[in-house]
A and B are shown apart, each in its own frame.
Chain A
């Protein structure tokens, strides 16, 4: 019963989120703030993680393909396709659910327990829409850019690490990442990123908006939000992969 209660309340919340804004100018101002806060501030962690994972994957592919029968171009191909299909979309979304999701839940949850949300409501502001809509649009908008950034730096990490570790030459790696390239993989992953972006913003917002109690409950809500968002990301990854890739 609890599951259906939460699903129902989540969709009712979404209905209020997409209601007509009181003043577009204020929402647009808030949107730019959220793009900076949730999106631009995530660039650093995306770049660092992607460089390391790209490098690690290249070394692991080189290790598992240490057979003279396998062409060395497979190392670059493997790294590229893993980044394109799964790491830079799904795994990145899971990581960002932790960073952005907990940020959203704790921010909105703190506003709830300190009566700032009540304050907005009494003024006549649709607090659900004012607080959540700019976050949802900002995250959905920024996620595809983070995906492209992650692919680029992941490939760069593989190139640098592979040649520095001596497992593959730059020439072989560059040939590998261009070999049998399927552009649809990028389209598919960008579609996934739109869906994941929506989940990463809206699910934690739901947990923050309906929190009751004090600081302890806000902390618990953050944990719940991240866990539930991660499960939903994996669930939708499975659905979208089945629908769009097979």
Chain B
């Protein structure tokens, strides 16, 4: 479980996070949604410690992350997997070396054990063996995202973060990625936080949805509740796409 309490963050006097509090449950796909520039990425990067918050608390289970020293943070980070918007795979090494990298860096496993783990992770995200030796630039965007997910789960993390994991993907591949993240979350009982503005993802895997607007928490609920919400800002966000307006009315 991850909990944030009253988070504030400003850049050059411009307040991006204005006292956000929320709880992200274990074994669930927790989505953060909002318009571009609403503060989603800043919130995610603050939870990860890539930005130091101005005030507020971030709790990883019983650990107050905002009060930990650099050494403890490093330790915690080995329990975190992250899937970046662009994949962020290391482009000078192959697909399997990318997945093996955290194992090489942080474990004392033998080469054979590491290779087994790499194959296990890549197999879980449906990457064929023939792609193992290719460089990231030689595979498609969807495959890059799946390799990024494989690398994120290599160390068997407790927490998984995804920043717009299906941006730039076709709807079919995007759904595959969404389902994959959800199934891995259930299988490995991770606390997963996904940053997105894709309503298809919300409807597919939004077990817990946090809607933020202009740096403030506007609404929290589930995918089943979201279409019937009375929150005006949320409705403006969702029903910008007419398909969801039709869904609300029960039209096909």
Q: Which of B48, B89, B101, B104 meets A122, CB within 8 Å?
A: B48
Q: Which of B77, B86, B105 meets A26, CB within 8 Å?
A: B105
Q: Which of A22, A25, A115, A124 meets B84, CB within 8 Å?
A: A115
Chain A nearest CB from B146 CB (Å) reads 16
- B74: Cβ under 8 A from any A Cβ: yes
Query: Considering only CB atoms and an 8 Å cut-off, how many residues of chain A contact the other chain?
Result: 15
Q: Which of A26, A116, A125 meets B88, CB within 8 Å?
A: A116
Within 8 A of A (CB), among B73-92: 73-78, 80, 82, 84-86, 88-91
Q: Check A124/B86 contact, CB under 8 A, given A23-B104, A26-B105.
A: no
Q: Which of B45, B88, B101, B104 meets A114, CB within 8 Å?
A: B88
B80: chain A residues within 8 A (beta carbon): 122
- A121: Cβ under 8 A from any B Cβ: yes
Q: A123–B86 contact, CB under 8 A?
A: no
Interface size class of B (residues with CB under 8 A): 20 to 34
A124: chain B residues within 8 A (beta carbon): 73-78, 106
Q: Check A116/B90 contact, CB under 8 A, given A22-B106, A23-B104.
A: yes
Interface string of A30-46 (1 = CB under 8 A from B): 00000000000000000
Cross-chain pairs A/B with CB under 8 angstroms, 23 sampled: A22-B105, A23-B104, A23-B106, A114-B86, A114-B91, A115-B85, A115-B86, A115-B88, A116-B90, A116-B91, A118-B45, A118-B82, A118-B84, A119-B84, A122-B82, A122-B161, A123-B78, A123-B101, A123-B102, A124-B73, A124-B75, A124-B78, A125-B105
Q: Which of B's residues lie within 8 Å of A, judged by CB?
A: 45, 48, 50, 73-78, 80, 82, 84-86, 88-91, 101-102, 104-106, 161
Q: Which of A's residues lie within 8 Å of B, judged by CB?
A: 22-23, 25-26, 111, 114-116, 118-119, 121-125
